[in-house]
A and B are shown apart, each in its own frame.
Chain A
Amino acid sequence: MDKLFGTQVRTDVLVAAGRLGTTYVSEIAKLLDRRPLEVQRAVASLELAGVLQTRRFGTIRTVELNRRFPEYAELVNLLLKMSERTIYAQRWKAFRRRPRAMGKAL
């Protein structure tokens, strides 16, 4: 299962993208405790495969699952289920993603 999508890092990146929705390379890298370059390479290859899509907003390139991927709904379901596995579940727990107004302490 670890290399279901080719390599461990590709699998991890896809699971993270499925769990987080719209994200970006450095967020995925921090979350997975991996080097940004590794994540960047995985994102690039998954984008070539048509599973991920990226877009540039100012200085940030966002990463998300490609909603035009034919099996998008099935893929999201699978990735969300995988994201509940113990090896991943702990990673989301300490990661705040809801908005925080400017000037408010975390």
Chain B
Amino acid sequence: MTLRRATLTEVAARASAHLERAGIPVAVVGGSAVTIHAPEVYASNDIDFAAIRGTTRRDFAAAVAPLGFGASGRDFVHPESRFTLDLVADTPFIDQRPITRFAKVSTRFGQVRVYRFEDAIADRVAAFLHWGDSQSLDVAESAVRARAGEIAWQPIESALKRLDATGPAGVERLSLATTRLRSAYTAPMPRRRSAVNKSRRR
């Protein structure tokens, strides 16, 4: 099976399967997690993996090598795919909260663990809180708007409340972010099926 036309989710699933076989369970985190949940609103080109039980870069490299990924700088690149792999963490954290529960998305290449939607959103909002990164807030807002017909607001609100707003202007930034996401949730785009729901229907 070629990776030439594979989507980010499919490439992640293929790499996950290889890593799993090598005893390295992984989850997709960061911006690529948003891409998996809402590919139409954010197109990441790198897949950030967290090795949830820990690993070394050498073991990670050995596990993805049979798939054709080779090290290039800090990333792993494939000659047929525009998506790169990056090992970014062991246990993933959003602020001080370790993430131990994940969603599973099915593809023709198998399953891939990924941040739950609400955690993927909270992770983006954290970037706005701590670094003033408005792009991240825009992505979170667009993803919530795109999935509003399929998700509940409460888990998102809960995840947002657990963010660390103790930094400078943290409370004010979190308030702005929550207001924007809530508005996006209540004024959604026309309903579209997500990758998660598509896989469930198969």
Query: Which residues on A are within 8 Å of B, measured CB to CB?
Result: 18-23, 64-65, 67, 73, 76-77, 80-81, 84, 92-99, 101-104
Best-surrounded residue of B75, B132, B168 (most CB of chain A within 10 A):
B132
Question: Which residues does chain A contribute within 8 Å of B176, judged by CB atoms?
Answer: 80-81, 84
Encode contact with A along B157-174: 1 for CB under 8 Å, 0 otherwise: 000000000001101110
Separation in Å of the B198 CB from the closest CB of chain A? 29
| Cβ A98 vs Cβ B127 within 8 A | yes
Separation in Å of the B125 CB from the closest CB of chain A? 12
Query: Which residues on B are within 8 Å of A, measured CB to CB?
Result: 46, 73-75, 86, 127, 131-136, 138, 168-169, 171-173, 175-176
Other-chain residue from A22, A92, A99 in contact with B134 (beta carbon distance below 8 A)? A92
Separation in Å of the A28 CB from the closest CB of chain B? 12
Best-surrounded residue of B46, B74, B133 (most CB of chain A within 10 A):
B133
Q: A95-B135, A96-B133 are in contact. List 14 more A-B contacts (CB 8 A).
A: A21-B132, A21-B168, A22-B132, A65-B168, A73-B169, A73-B172, A77-B172, A80-B173, A92-B134, A96-B135, A98-B127, A98-B131, A99-B131, A104-B86
Q: Given known contacts A21-B131, A103-B74, A104-B86, is B136 in contact with A98 (CB within 8 Å)? A: yes
Question: Can you sample 12 A-B contacts with CB below 8 Å?
Answer: A18-B169, A21-B168, A67-B168, A77-B172, A80-B172, A93-B138, A95-B134, A95-B135, A98-B131, A98-B135, A101-B86, A104-B73
Question: Which residues does chain A contribute within 8 Å of B132, judged by CB atoms?
Answer: 19-23, 97
Question: Which residues does chain A contribute within 8 Å of B74, judged by CB atoms?
Answer: 101-104
| Cβ B131 vs Cβ A65 within 8 A | no
Q: With the chains together, A73 CA to B170 CA distance in Å?
A: 10
Question: Which residues does chain B contribute within 8 Å of A84, judged by CB atoms?
Answer: 176
Separation in Å of the A21 CB from the closest CB of chain B? 4
